[in-house]
Chain A
């Protein structure tokens, strides 16, 4: 779990585009098949709530239960694939320097944010107002004619939540450091919807979401996803289903 040396076989990329999402921000775009989205924690302690959908058929979308049970994992990191409910791979996690991304925590809504951080309205705080994950994601979804039906379980990038022997959750503070990044390699044209807000189980008392950088990368090596395809037989079959979709 280091931020320095890339893996020995790390593919080389051409950088197509970069932008920064400020803490509290939300955005959405179609990540084209074959491109890699690199999300980087700029300051340390970031959290990004992430949804993925098949851009061609958005009812085909990230299914975390299928993703977790198919790979016998309750955390996400390099080598894992993010499955759709149609047994396809939306994106493969081809690199990850922080080792654990959380599938449990979800997003807070407006009432839960007010309960946790106090009232922080636009009227008093202007663009520093207290945003919440439910509304941020719904707003982005609305831009694509999606609605509440499409709001499913999200991945919280850069956050680690463990489960103890008594089945209780524990948020691990200071898990992600400045410069940590995760690479999501698109196996189909994937609608990415995300918001940079604190993890709901982060015990820090102040509303202080951190920024992240997004980079669109074109791998020079067509085999950049090989490790994900071969890490489990389930992933090979999900790649097969994805290829069938593209026939």
Chain B
């Protein structure tokens, strides 16, 4: 696992926004701009989807992205491809080391399956995604495909097992992505309390954008 730090400093960012624990966030990043997602307090899953701003039907494609890099986790150098085969963004720095794109997002309904039927009414990432999508107006449920879980650790074993491990992130870890095209960024700062993906304590995450 190789960690690549960035030379960008927060004081030169053109935009900064702290997403409180458990909340959605939607913004745009223009072609050539660089987005940093910062895990402020550590072990916070940041569930993220990317769309082409010109055609929001074109979105991040996890299977193409993993296949073209030949590896199952995302890190520096990973090119995030779309469902039409176009590069949307490239990860240009990563001080965490690996990020999951197989675990998907929590939802009321999947919480009933994974944990218990009485967990249905807990807050979830899909609630966040849908709320942000419907307020924005360009996206709806059918646009919500499999997302990236930045800062989350979901190892795949050689025998075909899938496990959820303690996070490998820590306070101040970040990932940076440079956009190849204008993109919509849809984030749920994960509110999951039923497993260790947020260290049992969801915390804020920061978004920074540089020209």
Contact = CB atoms under 8 A, between A and B. Distances in A.
Q: Is the interface of B mostly helix, strand, loop or mixed?
A: loop
B157 A163 contact: yes
A149 B62 contact: no
A169 B66 contact: yes
Contact of A153 (B108, B146, B156): B146
Contact of B63 (A86, A104, A163, A167): A104
Contacts of B108: 87
A100 B158 CA distance: 13
Contact of A104 (B72, B105, B109): B72
Contact of B102 (A59, A65, A149, A200): A65
Contacts of A104: 63, 66-67, 72
A220 to B, nearest CB: 29
B63 A154 contact: yes
B85 interface: yes
A64 interface: yes
A87 B112 contact: yes
A167 B73 CA distance: 7
Interface string A97-121: 0001000111101011000000000
Contacts of A148: 57-58, 83-84
A106 B103 CA distance: 16
Contacts of A162: 158, 160
Contacts of B61: 106
Given A165-B158, A237-B117, A105 B104 contact: no
Contact of A111 (B72, B85, B112, B146): B85
B113 A237 contact: yes
Contacts of B113: 66, 70, 83, 87, 234, 237-238, 241
Interface string B103-126: 111011110111011000000001
Interface string B142-169: 1111100000001011101111100000
Interface string A202-216: 000000000000000
A75 B146 contact: no
Contacts of B145: 152-153
A189 interface: no
A151 B84 CA distance: 10
Interface in B71-109: 71-73, 83-85, 98, 102-105, 107-109
B162 A86 contact: no
B71 A63 contact: no
A87 B83 contact: no
Contacts of A63: 104, 110, 146
B8 interface: no
B62 A153 contact: yes
A70 B114 CA distance: 6
Contact of A241 (B64, B105, B112, B140): B112
B109 A86 contact: yes
A87 B85 contact: no
Contact of A75 (B66, B73, B114, B160): B160
Nearest to A86: B109
Q: What 9 pairs between A and B have smallest CB-CB spacing?
A: A65-B104, A106-B63, A87-B109, A75-B160, A149-B142, A163-B156, A74-B162, A74-B156, A148-B57
27 contacts: A63-B104, A64-B104, A65-B104, A68-B102, A68-B162, A69-B154, A72-B163, A74-B102, A85-B109, A87-B112, A104-B72, A106-B63, A107-B63, A109-B85, A112-B85, A148-B84, A150-B142, A151-B83, A153-B62, A153-B146, A162-B158, A163-B158, A167-B73, A169-B66, A237-B112, A237-B116, A241-B112
Given A66-B107, A66-B110, A154-B63, 18 more contacts: A59-B141, A66-B113, A87-B110, A100-B160, A104-B66, A105-B63, A106-B63, A134-B83, A148-B58, A148-B84, A150-B142, A152-B145, A152-B146, A163-B156, A163-B157, A163-B158, A169-B66, A201-B67
